[in-house]
Amino acid sequence: MLLFKKSADLGNYLERLRQEGLAIGFVPTMGALHQGHISLVEQSREESGITVCSIFVNPTQFNDSKDFEKYPSTIEADIDKLEAAGCDVLFLPSVSEIYPDGTALAAHYNLGYLETILEGKFRPGHFQGVCQVVERLLQIVKPHFLFLGQKDYQQCMVIKKLIALTGLPVHTIVCPTLRESDGLAMSSRNMRLNPGERAKAVKISETLSFIRSSIRPGYLPDLKERCRQYLTAEGFKVDYVEIADAETLEPQEYWDGHQPLVALVAAFLNEVRLIDNHPLHP
């Protein structure tokens, strides 16, 4: 695996491969890699001639400075995992490499209502930062395929919107959420949980499974409220338990029994904020 720290060097290297006709697959990450990230690398290797992974903890997408400071970093282990997975290129840029003109937002991305609901509502500015870094990375890597995890359901929609707004010629491929054996969605933030919190964290995916098995056509607020109360009683500080349209992510109050939905949860266990979702296909 080749490691690049400078965007110009990476850009030149990839340009040569592009001219040889190789399809470039790209997996952007913030590191502290787990099998969920690696599954994206594996998917990219199946679909692309060359797989590029980036590790960059993007300061502009953290609305909470403590969360940024405490974001786990395991770079040596990450490199080993990427190498074992057959990743071809790792891009490991510094903040000044990604933001040569500083981290102030240069552009405003018109994300519409997507930015006013769920993660957009509870993490103000988060998706602007995500768009800022993803646009910059896409301009450097110029991939044919971009691999994203469904674990970050709303982020996938935001990035698709960014690609539509900018007209960047990249095809997004959304990959399924990888889970621990008890159902907890894999996440870099899970490393911050102590053993008691880790045991409790599974209740988020259990709640989503409960929604999937107990949802019936009709009004939904009671079900959402019951789940919120359950998680709160278990010691979570709940940002939201929501049931939304699977395509638009608009929160739903009523289900006709046919509309594809997705259930989403965001909740803190002490200082660690966890998110997860389950698509609910009728």
Kindly list the residues in this chain that would bind ligand AMP in the complex (CB under 6 A). 29-30, 36-37, 39-40, 148-149, 151-152, 175, 177-178, 185-188
Q: Choose between 36 and 120: whose C-beta lies nearer to ligand AMP.
A: 36
Active site residue 37: yes
Q: Provide, rounded to whole angstroms, the least separation between the CB of residue 29 and ligand AMP.
A: 4
Q: What are phi and psi of 120, to 5 degrees?
A: -60, -40
Under 8 Å between Cβ of 29 and 90: no
Place of tokens 């940024």: 68
Nearest distance, CB of residue 13 and ligand AMP, angstroms: 22
Question: Residue 224 CB, nearest distance to ligand AMP (Å)?
Answer: 24
Distance CA 92, CA 35 (A): 19
Is 162 or 175 the residue whose CB approaches ligand AMP more closely?
175
Strands 145-149 and 24-29, by their bridges, are: parallel
Considering the complex, what minimum distance in angstroms separates the CB of residue 61 from ligand AMP?
9
CB of 137 to ligand AMP, least distance (A): 11
Nearer to ligand AMP, 15 or 80 (CB): 80
In the bound state with ligand AMP, the residue whose beta carbon lies nearer, of 160 and 226, is 160
CB 198 within 8 A of CB 170: no
Q: Is there a contact between 276 and 270 (Cβ–Cβ < 8 Å)?
A: no
The answer to whether the CB of 52 falls within 8 A of the CB of 25 is yes
Task: List, as one string, the DSSP characters of 14-73.
Answer: HHHHHHTTPPEEEEEE-SS--HHHHHHHHHHHHH-SEEEEEE---GGG-SSHHHHHT---
Task: List the helix and strand counts (H, then E) for the chain.
Answer: 10, 11
Q: How far is the CB of 255 from ligand AMP (least distance, A)?
A: 26
Q: How far apart are CA 125 and CA 59, in angstroms?
A: 11
Angstrom CA distances, 21 to 14, 118, 142, 147, stand at 11, 41, 13, 20
Instruction: Please identify which of the residues 37, 126, 144, 278 carries the catalytic annotation.
Output: 37
Residue 34 vs 224, nearer CB to ligand AMP: 34
Which C-beta is closer to ligand AMP: that of 143 or that of 255? 143
Q: Which residues are catalytic?
A: 37
